[in-house]
Structure 1
Amino acid sequence: MQTKKRLVLIVITLFLLSLGIQPLKVNAQTSVNAVDYTPGLFYQFYDYSGEGNEYAPFTMTLDYIPDEQGIYQVSRATAGTTVSYVYQLTEEGIYELAYFPESYDQEDFRYHTDATDESKSLYFPLTLEVGATFSRGYQDMQDYVVTDILPVYNIEDIEYYNVVVIETTFDSGEIQRYYYAPKIGEIYSEYLMSDEMGGVTTWLNILRGPSYQ
């Protein structure tokens, strides 16, 4: 069984390494492979603009590409602070293994004790299907639902294809909605206040890379 899982991880990693960033054909779908929407993996540098608060704009960098176990690391910098995230590609989906606030200089956290213990949070199940729900969190779980897969979505006069929309509603009534494009990752997000008195939006501005070709 372990051999089988290891082979699956190697295949996933090799698949990612072989990817080119090519325009995708418009194709209405009800389910997609989450590997194509993996966060922060397809370009070396992402720059996001935003409005609503000081944390809306941010940059994200790919610090370390996946190893033979599918483990990789990205760092997100916003409002003077940087947080590093360790993810893993598995045959069940994409997991967040750990995160490290106040991290700098691309320190390698992939094999830190916090990233290798039993605690982890599901980021995406392997298949994203319209209407399906899944939970994220290390302890206090938050439910997310795949609300749509848009054939075309336009941001800043750029068209993205087969965009997955994922939404969660908090106990206080606020709604967080994310938009993901294949072979890119997150392209837009919106945080909607329960009293409709404002919100926070973030959108993809600049890509540099890619890391996988």
Structure 2
Amino acid sequence: MRKNILILCLLMSILLLAGCGKKNTNPQVTPTPGPTVPAEPEQPSPTGAQSQTEEDNTDNGKKGTLTIEDYYPILEDTEYVYEGIGMEYASFTVFMDYFDTDVGRYQTRTDNGGTVTAKVMEIKDGKLSMIKSVGEAYYRDNLLDTEEEKDAEILLMEPLVKGTRWTLPDGSKRYISNDKVKVETDLGSYDAIEVTTETADSTTKDYYTPGVGLIRSVFRANDHEVVSTLSEIKKNTPYIQTVDFYYPDTDEKIHVVQKEITFHTNDVTRLVLEKAVKEKVLKDNYVPLISTNTKINSLYLGKDHIVYVDFSKEFIEEMQAGSGFEQLILQSITNTLGSYYGVKEVCITVDEEPYESGHILLKEGETLKVNMDSVVQ
């Protein structure tokens, strides 16, 4: 039996050796190299943007998967600084006041040195749209729940590839003209997509890069060119605003005190202003506007250009002022809020009811007018 087993093992070894010794009957084919084409020298772009070749764009496969959220990131307490050439207001700063990722809306403020514009952006259905724009927005109000304007402007549209195009409400044509552009800035080199907007007499090229957003905008009309380029990103930088607060004095005059107010992204304006009003006044003879227990329940600028402010009941209960000073307090609040929002009328209510104390009674909807006659500069 043992002899038979040895013979069987010997036969199996011979078969294995024979199989390993067979030659490959499918020889490998070496491809014939194609002709080498000399590369053309790159021509410098006057705007600092250069198209990339397929070889340069090593992450081309990733670009197809990028979404608008990648090109419009949420950056809290961050100020973008753009340096411009070609016109006075080509330089500007951008700060994000509010955002709500649940509804895909974002509110920014753009300051070009001549005016401040609040813009509400919305990311929805593969589109980045500016659904509202408010000029002269020197105040800070949450506009995220605003109704979309009929002439909402689409800034970006998926797919984020060359050839995607759409028409703006004014009839202008906008399209992704290049998805492989290298843009040189003072902050470094960025890989960007190029979005072109064509009107009857002008062309604008905007460049967006993932993780940053807009890095350059180039406007051309005839022989004139205006260029705005991202030059600085200031992180951990809240928005600081100088606000005039008006206080009555024991001399029955109203005095103005300027305070620097700090707003972080998504801060509620009424709460920040409430805290500022409650801070100790520099002069002891200035009468406080509200008590430490008083709350500002709501504060906003209406479509009728009237500021609406609602206080808690402690506003009246803890005022401790005679009729003369009560009138001065109401006038100081009116001047403070009217000046901040840039309007002439303020409607004051208490727990959503018309203002009513032992001295003063306001009718429903009645407003107080901004009046600087008693203000001491």
**TM band (smaller chain):** 0.7 to 0.9
**2:210 alignment partner, one of 182, 188, 193:** 182
CA contact (8 A) 1:50 1:202 kept: yes
CA distance in 2, matches of 1:85, 1:164: 22
**1:166 alignment partner, one of 184, 188, 195:** 195
TM-score between both structures, scaled by the size of structure 2: 0.43
Q: CA RMSD in A?
A: 2.4
Residue 157 of structure 2 corresponds to which residue in structure 1? 125
CA contact (8 A) 1:28 1:151 kept: no
Cα 1:93/1:53, change in 2 over 3 Å? same
CA contact (8 A) 1:93 1:126 kept: yes
Asked if 1:89 corresponds to 2:123, the answer is yes
**1:78 alignment partner, one of 96, 112, 118:** 112
Please state how far the C-alpha of 1:105 moved relative to its aligned partner: 3.1
Please state how far the C-alpha of 1:157 moved relative to its aligned partner: 6.0
Q: Secondary structure at the match of 2:160?
A: strand
Query: Which protein, 1 or 2, shows the higher relative CO under an 8 Å CA cutoff with sep ≥ 6?
Result: 1
Residue 230 of structure 2 corresponds to which residue in structure 1? 204
Asked if 1:59 corresponds to 2:115, the answer is no
Which residue identity does 1:91 align to in structure 2? D
- How many pairs align? 178
Q: Secondary structure at the match of 1:36?
A: helix
Please state how far the C-alpha of 1:160 moved relative to its aligned partner: 1.0
Which residue identity does 1:156 align to in structure 2? D
TM-score between both structures, scaled by the size of structure 1: 0.74
CA contact (8 A) 2:185 2:231 kept: no
CA distance in 2, matches of 1:116, 1:176: 24
Please state how far the C-alpha of 1:135 moved relative to its aligned partner: 2.4
Higher alpha-carbon deviation: 27-36 or 54-63: 27-36
Higher alpha-carbon deviation: 149-158 or 126-135: 149-158
CA distance in 1, matches of 2:105, 2:143: 10
Asked if 1:191 corresponds to 2:219, the answer is yes
Asked if 1:152 corresponds to 2:170, the answer is no
Please state how far the C-alpha of 1:90 moved relative to its aligned partner: 1.5
CA contact (8 A) 1:26 1:151 kept: no
C-alpha distance after superposition, 1:95-123 (max 9, x if no partner): 221111110232212223xx356653322
Higher strand share: 1
CA distance in 1, matches of 2:216, 2:173: 19
Which residue identity does 2:195 align to in structure 1? I
Cα 1:99/1:151, change in 2 over 3 Å? closer
Higher helix share: 2
Which residue identity does 2:60 align to in structure 1? A
Residue 50 of structure 1 corresponds to which residue in structure 2? 84
Q: Secondary structure at the match of 1:128?
A: coil
CA distance in 2, matches of 1:166, 1:52: 20
Identical counterparts, % of pairs: 19
CA contact (8 A) 1:131 1:146 kept: yes
